[in-house]
Chain A
Amino acid sequence: MNFSVVVNQFWPLLINGLAVGLIYVLISLGYTMVYGVLRLINFANSEIFMVGTFATVIVTRDIFKYTSAHEALHGFKLVATLLLILIASMLFSGVTAVLVELVAYRRLRSKGTNRLASLISAIGTSIMISEGVRILTKSAPVPTPRLLTKFNLISIGGVDIRIDTFLVIVSAALIFFMVDRFVTKTLLGKAIRAVSMSEETSKLMGVNLNRVISATFLIGGLVTGAAAFLYMQVYETTVFNVGFNLGLAAFTAAVLGGIGNIRGAFYGGLTLGLFEQYASAIIGGQWKAVTVFSVLVLVLLFKPNGLFGEAIQQSRV
């Protein structure tokens, strides 16, 4: 136990906690939005994230032909390249999510099967994707070429904020804000919220349920893909089961904020990211996974509707 670290390292831990937390926020949207419309956990979301990380590698390495020895990019070229890789990763994850819905959920739903059946089929699809990637990569970690020279961007009160951390915090917050606006302001967003409140009444409004469910998976997948891209800019290596721990943390964040609640996911992700940073600084990094699971178990035991419950129901999906 080392409590003095919280005082000494308060600001660096805060910055890291925000960055990690915001990645959790984006992945947890994939869980929370799907839960909103289907009342089912999308267990394949961790694999949708994994696909996004590999998409980042493949596009950077094989399409843009960058290698680690490559000269650093600057200015407009750097921004444009990063943006293109971001969009590609989002699309890969988004399309994967839509396919998962078609394979694991839609057929069973149209037959009116027990809801638990789709839960099992989602887990099955998830195992299939991750095992497939395991065989293709021979279980080896795969690095992505570094595009972003890591330098300290700004220094506030003796705390250095590195460019990649800065990129994560700003882009993730921006993407979250866009999703929130989309869901509250657009017609499709309103239809997604309507379905989450009542399937039957939504149909009476003329809402095509299958289309809205597909759109929800697509948006959840796009956002999870963006998280995968940002993750890769910081950690630079992926592996077939990279989604497992991150997926569980993001799921915990979603439960913490009240699953089905978009703004809840935001607070849940940030809370978990910060808690994890400070807790592992105090009790040691090897306990990180334990802290995440403890949070999940405690929330489910004492506040199963999440810390923010129905208080922010307006944003409920």
Chain B
Amino acid sequence: MRLEVKDLRVQYGKIEAIKGISFTVEQGEIVTLIGANGAGKTTTLKTISGLRAVASGSITYNGEDISKVPAHERVNLGISQAPEGRGIFPGMTVLENLEIGKYSRKDRKNEMAEDLEKVYHLFPRLKERINQAGGTLSGGEQQMLAIGRALMARPNVLLLDEPSMGLAPMMIQNIFNIITSINKELGTTILLVEQNAQQALQRAHRAYVLETGKIVKEAKASDLLNDPAVRAAYLGTGAEKGHH
């Protein structure tokens, strides 16, 4: 698996949201894009999954340019997304949400039981709630469901859009622990977009800093965690040391 974004530009009408960014995600990595609100993080992910059109530049996946492939076919290629705001189907049960996550798989009948078990193993809470409507879950549970649902498609690369958004600190820890174990145990490559830079940089291997549609910095995540400029801009105060 190799994902490469090159000179990518994305427009909303006449406004350019992404102004020529390039980055790569290698097999087995957790790569994070951090940045403030409106920096273009979500747009970048949506463009990779095909929900936004590429104005210019390319998205290469395993050596093939996929920037013209329709969104619903990119899941088949192994690119799965847990979208911003979780995107749970509110009127469907937890189980139905997970089942529809398998929609793209040809062999879904045979894989279903095994993959449900895999998701329940990662998120035991979901198993207790299988017959509950998705819309009635707590924010943290919905995030678990969004990630679990994305895993049902057996992705090579998992795109996570702000998994910590709106969650209590305990739940954030919990979610990020699971993200780490998905990467380590299942070997799934992860591209993580986050405003919670502290958590994202602790968990990721490499990181890119996005500011108003441009990448302004790239480095090993642990280096950025100790970078005074990054600390000042994204980790609260520059002097205080982040908790672990």
Contact = CB atoms under 8 A, between A and B. Distances in A.
- A and B from one assembly? yes
Given A190-B99, A193-B89, A313-B90, A201 B50 contact: no
A63 interface: no
A193, A205, A314, A316 — most chain B CB neighbours (10 Å): A205
A114 interface: no
B75 A204 contact: yes
A313 B100 CA distance: 17
Contact of B104 (A197, A205, A209): A205
A186 to B, nearest CB: 11
Nearest to A199: B51
Interface size class of A (residues with CB under 8 A): 10 to 19
Interface in A195-217: 197-198, 200-201, 203-209
Contact of A206 (B87, B92, B153): B153
Interface of B: 49-51, 70-73, 75-76, 80-81, 83, 87, 89-93, 96, 99-101, 103-104, 108, 133, 135, 149-150, 153
Interface in A141-196: 187, 190-191, 193-194
Nearest to B134: A197
A208 B72 contact: yes
B133 A203 contact: no
Nearest to B97: A194
Q: Is the interface of B mostly helix, strand, loop or mixed?
A: mixed
Given A200-B83, A314-B133, A206 B89 contact: no
Given A190-B96, A200-B83, A205 B90 contact: no
Given A201-B83, A205-B104, A207-B103, A194 B89 contact: yes
Contacts of A205: 72, 75, 100-101, 103-104, 149, 153
A225 to B, nearest CB: 28
Nearest to A190: B100
Interface string A204-236: 111111000000000000000000000000000
Contacts of A193: 89, 91-92
Given A194-B92, A205-B101, A200 B87 contact: yes
Contacts of A316: 91
Contacts of A197: 89-92
Contacts of A314: 91-93, 133
A207 B133 CA distance: 21
Contacts, number: 72
A314 B93 CA distance: 8
Given A203-B50, A204-B75, A208-B70, 14 more contacts: A187-B108, A190-B92, A190-B99, A191-B100, A197-B90, A197-B92, A200-B51, A201-B83, A201-B87, A203-B72, A204-B83, A205-B149, A207-B72, A314-B92
23 contacts: A187-B100, A191-B103, A194-B89, A194-B100, A200-B51, A200-B83, A201-B87, A201-B89, A203-B72, A204-B75, A204-B80, A204-B81, A204-B87, A205-B72, A205-B101, A205-B104, A206-B75, A206-B76, A206-B103, A208-B72, A209-B72, A313-B133, A313-B135
Nearest to A313: B91
A187 B83 contact: no
B71 A204 contact: yes
Contacts of B150: 204
B11 to A, nearest CB: 14
A194 B103 CA distance: 11
Which 8 pairs between the two chains have the least Cβ-Cβ distance? A206-B104, A201-B87, A206-B75, A203-B71, A313-B91, A197-B89, A205-B103, A206-B103
Nearest to A211: B72
A187 B92 CA distance: 13
Contacts of B92: 190, 193-194, 197, 314
B100 A204 contact: no
B150 to A, nearest CB: 8
Contacts of A191: 100, 103
B151 to A, nearest CB: 12
B103 A187 contact: yes
A199 to B, nearest CB: 10
B199 to A, nearest CB: 23
Contacts of B100: 187, 190-191, 194, 205, 207
Nearest to B153: A206
A314 to B, nearest CB: 5
